[in-house]
Structure 1
Amino acid sequence: MIQKILIANRGEIALRVLRACKELGIQTVVVHSTADADAMHVRLADESVCIGPPPSRDSYLNIHQIVAACEITGADAVHPGYGFLSENAKFADILAAHNITFIGPSGDHIRIMGDKIEAKRTAKRLGIPVVPGSEGAVTDEKEAKRVAAEIGYPVIIKASAGGGGRGMKVARTEDDLEVALATARSEAGAAFGDDAVYIEKYLEKPRHIELQVFGDGFGNGVHFGERDCSLQRRHQKVWEEANSPALNEEARARIGGICAKAVADLGYSGAGTIEFLYENGEFYFIEMNTRLQVEHPVTEAITGIDLVHEQIRVASGGGLSVRQEDIKFNGHAIECRINAEDPRTFTPSPGTITHFHTPGGLGIRVDSGVYSGYKIPPYYDSLIGKLIVHGRNRVECMMRLRRALDEFVVDGIKTTLPLFRDLVGNADIANGDYDIHWLEKYLAATAE
């Protein structure tokens, strides 16, 4: 069994992992930059190690410093959270070379799924439905035109090593293709150091559906249902819910079974999320994230299973704690990401929180590492907390969410709370009638 876990992250996810470790009786070490010396997870951990100045490259992305912190404190495992080094295959390999358990999949599986072209090939081999598109990287305009003509316009060009919407361009006609291809390559090279791109059919009004999966590394796999992440801005998720308003039991069981079998056949170990676009009753693979997701609490709410506990159990070699038939789905859950941003312009709003009051009551959970008097640093992601609400059904969940948002108070900085108060009263949201383009259209309309 793992004895001491070093948490190689910050903010709400570091605190989330720390709490799970305490419940399991496991000692904790956190690393932090000088900017995070007063963070809540630093205050609550058994041990803390400062690993550098505020810039991420000098602290949270500094593999040498993190491995040194493990050796100094005797930590025998590392939980990477999400972001930073959570999907860094080199980091996983280096930890393995130092006999430190990486609480996540193998470096090889991270590499496969980190390359979008190889991930798509692997998904297809495992029987996961994929979007029609190029078999690999598109190398020139002539090849791009041939592929686009075969699958039909509109098409979308994506960075092979990409994510977060960077290196992603839509071409609706052949005339658009040349500029879209050049722009996507340029953005991909600048953002990821790799200008390889590929082409897929562009779906006009899809939903973004993702399946939470787990493998034990011994050929067994399960799924914990789906999450609907269709409310997005610039390809960044804003609001997630489980189960999806768009799926019925038959569709849920079908895609869940495919994904559980895929991770089992892959020999995958730990938590993963297989993401799809969903349109006209069909699923199309986008990517697989080889880590815990920001939105994992909505899955925990409807299953009653602690996914971080499960990660630690699997990494310890204990296998999965549940079989597929043991996993039951109860009610409905919604998560709102509360960011330190202007709710209209979405510009970051660092500064000191003068008053912080979270909602409470049945079915309410807030994951946050901030407190009254805490200073939001300008160096990192703007997420300051997540409001997770659970109800017996979606109607109850929405009413509970409305009440919780009214109780939530964050003073001293601007936050996205006003946006969610608007959304919870919108008829389309209440009816579950939205796709991945809905939020940006709504924001454009309300800005006029």
Structure 2
Amino acid sequence: MDGFRLPPVIEEVLDSSDELCELKTEQPTMLADTLTAKERESLEEKEETVGDGEKGQQEEEKEVKEEKSEDEEQGGAKSEEEEVEDLRAQVIQLLLELEETREVSQRNEESFMELQGLLEEERLASAHQAESFTRQIQRLQGGRAASCPLRLQNTHRHTLCLSPAAQLRSVQEEMDSLEVEKESELEEVQQELRSAQEEVLVLQQAAEEAAAERENDIASLQEELCRLRAELQRLYATTAEYELEITTLRAEMSMKHRNSMPPGDVTQLQEEVVSLTDERQTLTTNNQQLSNKVEQLQQQRDERDDMYLAVRGEGGTEHQRDVQMKVDTYITLSQSEHQDLDSCSVQKDICSSELNVLKVQLRQAEETSQKVQRECDGLKDELAELQQLYGRSQRERTVLEQELQCCKAELQRLVGRKSQSSAEGWNLAVVAVALAAIAVLVVPSFTRK
């Protein structure tokens, strides 16, 4: 085939565009020349009118008219300057438009050259195919069909030598078909993007609903915690009241024991003094041992004050044991005293009855303290369960927030890809599949909760 050559119609169009460009480049210079000529003519006319006016007027009015003429000249110069600036702005705008049209024409020329190259490549491919077909026909038919390849070549040359208008029409038809295909692909991509956006909105709504449910659960758990704390405070108050009652009973028992001692003779008193001194020694030793134990228990109690309800209950039981031990010591002491003193049998019965009453009261106090301990243990277990539930809900909330952030990032990425070419349309399908997988993973977690 011959070398590459543009069709005559396109060459004529390019020649006309070059002529227009030359005319547009020559137009600003001509406008500048005409503007300068107009300015000169206007200035000359004004000078002539001013000269004629000065000759016809009197000498007294020359100064006033000169001032007026100067003002008029200044106003005319300003108006002319404004006109010149407007014309210059129009010329600049026309030059900019000319540059834009040149750029557009260059782009069109480049696209036309690309299409022309594609067309030439297709022509070459068709020529090669025709040659291969002719060779095959020559091989099949041999020498009898020697004239047939010549006819095929002539027809192919005839098709290649079409008019430039037909070539342009074919190129335009191809461009129209390509535009239709691009529009259809863009519509498909937009539909996929809309479906993905709808899925993202559904996921956002589900995440918001789940967050609202979690907030409601957290609020209910906080209310339950407040109620349990109030219940614990009430139990603390009841335990303090029981401890006060125990201390008052101990004080009353000691006062009654002291007041029950009758006055006797001096000898009896001396004997009693001797016996009491012995008992005092034993009691001092016992009291010292008990005081050591009480100090140890007090230290343990001070160390365990910061611990929770279970440790406090254990401290209360130890305190009750100390009280029971003290009561038992008082009982043994009173029994030993009454065995030595035969005359105080009636008082012994009274003290024993009072001690029995105190024992019953102590047992009741122990039972109530055990009941309080059990209630405290139950409340402690409930509080632990609530804390676990709260921690689980917090973890689930963080997971949902992370998933929501991922969905938002995916949505932004999809919106950023909206302006890309249609060749990347399959990426949106992959994103839609990923969003569907996220929905499949997230929705069952909502249903379980």
Q: Please report the TM-score for the alignment, with normalisation by the length of structure 2.
A: 0.17
Greater share of residues in helix: 2
Q: Could you tell me the TM-score, scaled by structure 1's length?
A: 0.17
Structure number with the higher strand fraction is: 1
- Computing the radius of gyration over CA atoms, which structure comes out larger, 1 or 2? 2
